[in-house]
Structure 1
Amino acid sequence: MEGSKHRSLLTPREREIFNLLVEDQTTKDIAGRLGISEKTVRNHISNTIQKLGVSGRAQAIVELLRLGELQL
């Protein structure tokens, strides 16, 4: 492992999207801001939910906070 930083569960794009979700941005806002489609935003969210084994966005955010992957 390099340095003391653990390997993130999230890709840089997933992290970007979840940071925006925490800021209360909508899927549409996020898509516009990142220049990608809403479907792509939803796919990233869905992939993250599957990786974490949770059942929705809110649970994913709680789990990512618990794991130290996101900060409020």
Structure 2
Amino acid sequence: MNSPQHRSLLTKREREIFQLLILDYTTKEISQKLNISEKTVRNHISNTIQKLGVSSRSQALIELLRLDELSLH
């Protein structure tokens, strides 16, 4: 888990969704894989975009990589 000095910006679910976005999964594929609705996937993405103060999924991915919140496997 994260060390006490580094509290993640993302919830566990947001992290799962963005890791799948990095792997080029679609919203529909993510919803099926995680057994949640497409609307819920979009809500998690939207919440993350707002948290980061960016305006798109791609900007959010770049920022999360820059902040070491996500990694390219």
Residue aligning to 2:6: 6
Which 5+ residue runs of structure 2 have no aligned equivalent? none
* Structure 1 unaligned regions, length at least 5: none
Identical counterparts, % of pairs: 72
- Normalised TM-score (structure 2): 0.93
Moved segments of 4+, more than 4 Å: 2-5
**For residue 59 of structure 1, what is the aligned residue in structure 2?**
59
- The letter for the 2-side match of 1:49 is I
Question: Which residue of 1 is the match for residue 31 of structure 2?
Answer: 31
Residue 61 of structure 1 and its aligned partner are, at CA, apart by 0.1
When normalised by structure 1's length, the TM-score is 0.94
1:48 partner letter:
T
